[in-house]
Amino acid sequence: MSVLSKQAHHGIAGHGLWTLSRGLARHRQRYYACLEAADQGRRGDLDGRGNLSDAALADFCVFFLETMLDQVQFMSGLLGLPALRTRVERYFQFQALHLERYREELMRVARTLVDEGEIPRARVQEITGKAATVSVEIIKLGLEHGYFETPSPKGPLRVAFPAKIHEFYFPQLFLDLPVEPAGRAA
C-alpha cells in the first residue's frame, strides 16, 4: 500500500493540500514559456501535421508531468506517517506550551490517531494510562482544541488538522510560493 493510500485509509487524504497549482506557481516562468511555445506554429515540415508545433506540445507535456511528479513526491513526504508522527510529537513538545494540563497525554492520543486513523474513546484510557474520568477530560480538551474530532458525541475519535497547527504538521506547504504584488493578475 502506498504512503498516500495509507493516509487516505486513515482519513488523512490531504484534501485541499495537494494541488498542481502549487507546482506550477513554483516554476511560473518555465510554465508560461512552455505554454506559449506550445501555441507556436510548426517548426518545419517534420513537426506535426496541424498548424501547431508537436515538439513544443511534447515539451509542455513533459514539463507538466514532471511538475505533477514533483508535487506527488512532495506531498508523499509531507504526509508520510513516520514524518507526520514526528511533527505531531514536536508540536506538542515545543509549540503546545500553553497547555497546562495533559499535554503529554494529548500528544500520545494524537500520535496514535495519526498511526491508526480512528480509535474508540475507551482506548484513550489505555493510551494515556489515566483513570476513566481523566480520560474523559483529555478527550474533551482534545476536541476543544481541535487536535482530534468525532462524528458524534459518543463516536470514535479521529485525527484532525486544525488551521492553527497546519504549519507545524505540514511545514513549507505554501511558504515557497511566489506572491503576486497587489493589483496584478495571476
> 45 vs 3, 41, 154, 180, CA distance in Å?
46, 11, 71, 40
Q: Look up the domain containing 49 and give its range.
A: 3-79
b/e map of 122-157 (b: 16 or more CB within 10 Å)?
Answer: ebbbebbebeeebbeebbebbeebebbbbeeeeebb
- The pLDDT tens digits for 130-180 are 999 999 999 999 999 899 999 998 999 998 888 888 888 888 775 555 544
Instruction: For residue 116, give the CATH number of its domain.
Output: 1.10.10.10
Distance CA 7, CA 155 (A): 21
- The pLDDT tens digits for 19-60 are 788 788 888 899 999 988 887 777 776 666 667 778 888 899
Shared domain check, 150 and 89:
yes
CA-atom Rg of the chain in angstroms? 23
Q: Is residue 94 part of a domain?
A: yes
